[in-house]
Amino acid sequence: MSRETISPGGSIDGAAELPGDKSISHRYAILAALAEGRTEIANYASAADCRSTLECVRRLGVEVESSDHRVFITGRGLDGLKEPRRELDAENSGSTMRMLAGVLAGQPFRSTLTGDASLRRRPMRRVIEPLRQMGAEINSRDGDCAPLEIRGGKLRAIDYTPPIPSAQVKSAVLLAGLYADGVTTLRESVATRDHTELALREFGGSVESARGTISVQPRPKLTARQLVVPGDLSGAVFLIAATLVLPGSSLMLRNVGLNPTRAHVLDFFISMGAPIRVPNLQSRNGELVGDVSVRHAALAGGNISGAQVAEMIDELPMLAALGPYAEQGIEIHDAKELRVKESDRIATLAAGLRSMGARVEEFPDGMRVEGRSAGKLRGATVDPQGDHRIAMALAVAALGAEGDTVIRAAECAAVSYPEFFATLKRLRGAS
């Protein structure tokens, strides 16, 4: 177990590239496996979660080679996956488990998806239900949790409205829809990330999407592609926040994924007073990519609720941890989902911030972190409970504290951003 000690002060100055986007990498790997031919994916995520996806795909008989941040996947076509001899281990990755469940629902064999202790506690009924409606047989622990034993086969097309907005559930249903007997439709009240739709189109699938209704045609011929994964905006957010915590800082991030369904967090930063610019916008493989520049500025603070929660779900820990640096603090509601992420993110973050002296009120569906008037944070030893985004959020909060902060078992950051601590060090060293 490695601990990271964060000494406060200094400033951020320089430029950085982000590792490949985690969400997009999962989808490219899964669709490449179902395509015909050899797909090349450049800048594939270094995130441990995306390695888990590659390993699962390998166990389904797909040839996967990788060198540097380039991955080559020789797809076996829609009907070419092989019955796995062993369990498919998604480790810490909810996206891997939920999206693969959709694919496995359409396979004429039995397979088992499992994960680490955190993932085995997370709710899976949200994918089990629609996939059962489509005709898959799925057994789970207590009806909700992994391991999931899936016996797939011929599927019925459905018209489905998930009870909670979730890109993972949407993706599971759309992927299963590739194996259905007609057009599968999914309706969402909040536009969640649309990487599956965009990637399916890139591979030659047919997906229509208008006003929250997404429909996928079954049995497309998917064809191998050369793809480049944009930098991960959800990882960039930690570096942007560090720039906002440390006076005198300025940062340029290159080749960042700016898909509008993911970029709401930049608008929120701007609404708090952050000077952010996004030059060099272009479209690559259907995804918007650009640079992001940010300078330090005083933050106003703000409230997050309703649709904003799904739109910024992975960024909420970092935004909450900026509360003590914002004039009015940060208040979050309608975010019960945070309690069933890699950890109970409301409880874990509240505990970490409180031990650093922050004034935090916890609600069943959110939290309030008091602003500057509650006083300066002080260094402490904090435990992110194995949750990558909490480890990084607390590390950034520690940059403006008084005294050193020790992040226990900080290696969990590698689940999404293995280079985070080294990049933070490099950018601070330049000042």
The three-class DSSP label of residue 407 is strand
Cα separation, 348 vs 342, in Å, equals: 10
Quick one: which segment of 4-12, 65-73, 162-170, 395-403 binds ligand S3P (CB under 6 A)? 162-170
Residue 380 lies near ligand S3P (rule: CB under 6 A) = no
Quick one: which segment of 53-61, 164-172, 323-331, 376-384 binds ligand S3P (CB under 6 A)? 164-172
Closer CB to ligand S3P, residue 62 or residue 335? 335
Q: How far apart are CB 118 and ligand S3P at their closest, in Å?
A: 13
In this structure, what DSSP letter does residue 313 have?
Answer: G
> Is 21 annotated as catalytic?
no
Cβ neighbors of 183 (< 8 A, separation 6 or more) are 157, 177, 215, 216, 217, 218
Say which residue the tokens 């900026």 belong to. 322
Cα separation, 330 vs 352, in Å, equals: 16
The number of C-alpha atoms within 13 Å of 244 and in the hemisphere containing its C-beta is 31
Quick one: which segment of 54-62, 83-91, 160-168, 350-358 binds ligand S3P (CB under 6 A)? 160-168
Compute CA distances 183 → 33, 243, 423, whole Å: 22, 47, 45
Residues 132, 121 contacting (CB under 8 angstroms): no
Q: How far apart are CB 166 and ligand S3P at their closest, in Å?
A: 3
Residue 168 lies near ligand S3P (rule: CB under 6 A) = yes
Residue 96 lies near ligand S3P (rule: CB under 6 A) = no
Q: How far apart are CB 356 and ligand S3P at their closest, in Å?
A: 25
- C-beta atoms surrounding 116 within 10 Å: 17
Closer CB to ligand S3P, residue 227 or residue 358? 227
Cα separation, 94 vs 341, in Å, equals: 8
The three-class DSSP label of residue 157 is coil
Q: Site for ligand S3P (CB under 6 A): which residue of 45, 313, 377, 415?
A: 313
Site string for ligand S3P, 174-203 (x = CB under 6 A): -------------------x----------
Residues 422, 268 contacting (CB under 8 angstroms): no
Strands 282-284 and 287-295: antiparallel
Q: Site for ligand S3P (CB under 6 A): which residue of 11, 111, 140, 166?
A: 166
Q: Site for ligand S3P (CB under 6 A): which residue of 95, 215, 261, 308?
A: 95
Compute CA distances 184 → 40, 105, 214, whole Å: 29, 14, 8
Closer CB to ligand S3P, residue 114 or residue 166? 166
Q: How far apart are CB 358 and ligand S3P at their closest, in Å?
A: 24
Q: How far apart are CB 429 and ligand S3P at their closest, in Å?
A: 30
Contacts to ligand S3P from residues 120-139, by CB under 6 A: none
Cβ neighbors of 117 (< 8 A, separation 6 or more) are none
Q: Site for ligand S3P (CB under 6 A): which residue of 23, 111, 114, 215?
A: 23
Closer CB to ligand S3P, residue 95 or residue 348? 95
Quick one: which segment of 133-141, 166-174, 240-248, 405-413 binds ligand S3P (CB under 6 A)? 166-174
Dihedral angle computed from the Cα positions of residues 317, 318, 324 and 328, in that order, rounded to the nearest 10 degrees: -80
- C-beta atoms surrounding 430 within 10 Å: 12
Quick one: which segment of 136-144, 163-171, 178-186, 248-256 binds ligand S3P (CB under 6 A)? 163-171
Q: How far apart are CB 186 and ligand S3P at their closest, in Å?
A: 12
Which of 89, 194, 314, 387 is catalytic? The answer is 314
Residue 314 lies near ligand S3P (rule: CB under 6 A) = yes
Cβ neighbors of 79 (< 8 A, separation 6 or more) are none
Q: How far apart are CB 192 and ligand S3P at their closest, in Å?
A: 6
Question: Which chain residues interact with ligand S3P by CB under 6 A?
Answer: 23, 95, 166-168, 171, 193, 313-314
* Residues known to be catalytic: 314
